[in-house]
Amino acid sequence: MIDLHTHSTFSDGSDTPEAIALAGDALGLAALALTDHDTVEGLDAFLDAQARVKTRLVPGVELSCVFLGRPLHLLGLFIRPDDPAFRALLEDLRLRRERRNEQMAKRLSELGVPFDSEEARRFAAGRIVSRVHFARALVGRGTVSSPEEAFRRYIGDHAPAHVPFEDLGPAQAASWIQEAGGVAVVAHPGRFSGRSFRWDQAILDLKEQGIRALETYYGDYGPGEQAYFLELAGRTGMLPAGGSDYHGTYKPGLSLGTGRGSLRIPDSVLPALEAAAG
């Protein structure tokens, strides 16, 4: 069993990269990827743990894109985290995120919640400051009682203080991933524009843009969704991939390796993904 989609304190997860590696080994996972949002800062600590674990540790990232006018996430697996060109591109993404954070802080203030983005930065282990850190800051100051309330009332998609991320197209993101030695994967397609979205033509369009794989196994899928995406991947020539999307305590009930409890990602998906990388 493997897990190719997890998040640490360096983006919006509650566990350190080392803790995730050790936990994956304790579960007996054959392979485990760390895929923090728009950053590779946590990969050094994650990969340094390889000497202490039997689980194969895979370097990864998750890039935020826009497709058909909606947010789409792409995983990059088997990337070279020390690739200087890739790091420079991620730094540009970080600066885009900083501009977004300033806009969200301004909107919160306009809503009667005076807020400085530096409040959120205090909750971030790395340089990436996300909405999770905004939510924790709002809880810490007593504005809301939980992160879930912060997203619902203020910073979730379509909430009054939400600001969309600056556009990065799938073709550009896939090119970045490939040039850094990785393979591009559509992350949690079942969460794109609702469960009823039909992917038949869209996935062919993404394939033409350089995406090679589809997250057919996902921590929050039901049996019907998993069967649908497995069939779609086979029909369109996309490689199957999968992960829990583990965030630790920030996504309660979503466990490493097993998702909501029934996730089982076969080891057999790994060799084809690795062969497609680079």
Distance CA 166, CA 94 (A): 11
Which pLDDT score, from 0 to 100, does residue 193 have? 63
Task: Provide mean pLDDT across the span 45-65.
Answer: 97
| Spatial contact of 214 and 233, defined as CB atoms under 8 Å apart | yes
Dihedral Cα 184, 36, 187, 160, nearest 10 deg: -130
Q: For residue 235, what pLDDT band results from cuts at 50, 70 and 90?
A: very high
Which is the CATH superfamily of the domain at 2-90+180-276?
A: Metal-dependent hydrolases (3.20.20.140)
Residue 195 has pLDDT above 70, yes or no: no
DSSP summary character for residue 153 = I
Q: Where is average pLDDT lowest: 17-31, 151-165, 183-197?
A: 183-197
- Quickly tell me which residue has 């809301």 as its tokens: 144
Which pLDDT score, from 0 to 100, does residue 94 have? 87
Q: For residue 104, what pLDDT band results from cuts at 50, 70 and 90?
A: very high
Which pLDDT score, from 0 to 100, does residue 196 have? 64
Task: Provide mean pLDDT across the span 249-261.
Answer: 94
* pLDDT greater at residue 199 or residue 22: 22
Angle among Cα 77, 20, 229 to the nearest 5 degrees reads 45
The pLDDT tens digits of the residues spanning 116-158 come to 988 999 988 778 788 989 999 999 999 999 999 999 999 998 8
Task: Provide mean pLDDT across the span 100-109.
Answer: 95
Q: In this structure, what token pair is assigned to residue 257?
A: 């390796």
